[in-house]
Amino acid sequence: MCHYSILGLRSRVMHSNTVSKVFLWWDSEKRDLPWRISRDPWAILVSEFMLQQTQASRVVPKYNLFLERFPNPSLCANSNPGEVIELWSGLGYNRRAINLYRAAKTITEKHQGIVPDELSILLDLPGIGDYTARAILAFSYEQDVAVVDVNVKRVLSRLEGKTLSMKETQSTADQNLPKGEGWRWNQAMIEIGATICTARKTQCGNCPLKTTCAWSKDQTAPDPAISPKRKKLDTFEGSDRQGRGKLINALRNEPVMEKDVPQILGWTNDLDRCKRVLRKLEKDGLVVITDSRKISLPS
């Protein structure tokens, strides 16, 4: 196996045998997910918005419903944000719904209804960061760009046997991308991270990367996928995010009066917090509040 230096670190280039093993594994083990049979850039964009922070199994029915209603960006742009939020029900993180609506509007108004195929232009769209932009390029336009999400970062850190920063992970992923195989390679790496090299459990015996993986050789060492600097994740229960979700769910049924918000959120003893959450939802464009203090989804 040859070695090279990236960012001052020694790293390993994937041997062609390992690449073949990864593709063999992918061909036999991949999950059938609807966005994997599509190359439609709008469908891929929708799937990637939904997959940010939501499990694939929960995304599948919502993805199908969404594309039935909005098969292209123009139809989505010509609806209203409230309808997009309605369709988002069950996916959580409702701000993604607003960003998706805004992205559809920008694509329609500035790009003739065609999802851009350049990284810098994609990055200018609302709600699209480096991961999503690269995923659209790789999974719809089949460009050879490496896609790095939390799954890939975990796999590459374990493979290298050291905690990689995002920059180091991207660089390692770029160097390892087999030419002309961007679509299949990225899908396979994400799939390995999502199914057999998960945060909680590894199935190294079934992994096509086993022979080259540093951490699999000595799992008594600290898991390099866990950064020592990582902050403890906030719990959902009792969080502002839970409160935001509760109010949006109530609004999916009907508008509510502002005075009823503390009751809906279950925070009758903390009116300041209710106000803060409400103002943030309004600022994010997820709710509108009339002069008579009636709150509804935007239309």
Residues that bind ligand SF4 (CB under 6 A): 155, 158-159, 196-197, 202-204, 207, 209-210, 213, 215-216
Q: Which is nearer to ligand SF4, 196 or 274 (CB)?
A: 196
**Span between the terminal Cα atoms of the chain, in Å:** 58
Q: What are phi and psi of 181, to 5 degrees?
A: -125, 25
Q: 298: exposed, middle or buried (C-beta count within 10 Å: 0-12, 13-18, 19+)?
A: middle
Q: Which is nearer to ligand SF4, 26 or 141 (CB)?
A: 26
Residue 21 CB, nearest approach to ligand SF4 (Å): 11
Q: Which is nearer to ligand SF4, 28 or 120 (CB)?
A: 28
**CA dist., res. 212 & res. 151, Å (int):** 18
* Catalytic residue list: 48
Helix (H, G, I), strand (E, B) or coil at 40: coil
Residue 222 CB, nearest approach to ligand SF4 (Å): 13
281 is written with which tokens? 């939802």
> Which residues pair with residue 289 across a beta bridge?
295
**CA dist., res. 233 & res. 249, Å (int):** 24
**CA dist., res. 220 & res. 108, Å (int):** 53
Q: Which is nearer to ligand SF4, 1 or 257 (CB)?
A: 1
| Buried-state track 219-232, b at ≥16 Cβ within 10 A, e below 16 | eeeeebbeeeeeee
Residue 156 CB, nearest approach to ligand SF4 (Å): 8
Q: Which is nearer to ligand SF4, 210 or 241 (CB)?
A: 210
How many CB atoms lie under 10 A from the CB of residue 283? Answer: 9
**CA dist., res. 124 & res. 119, Å (int):** 9
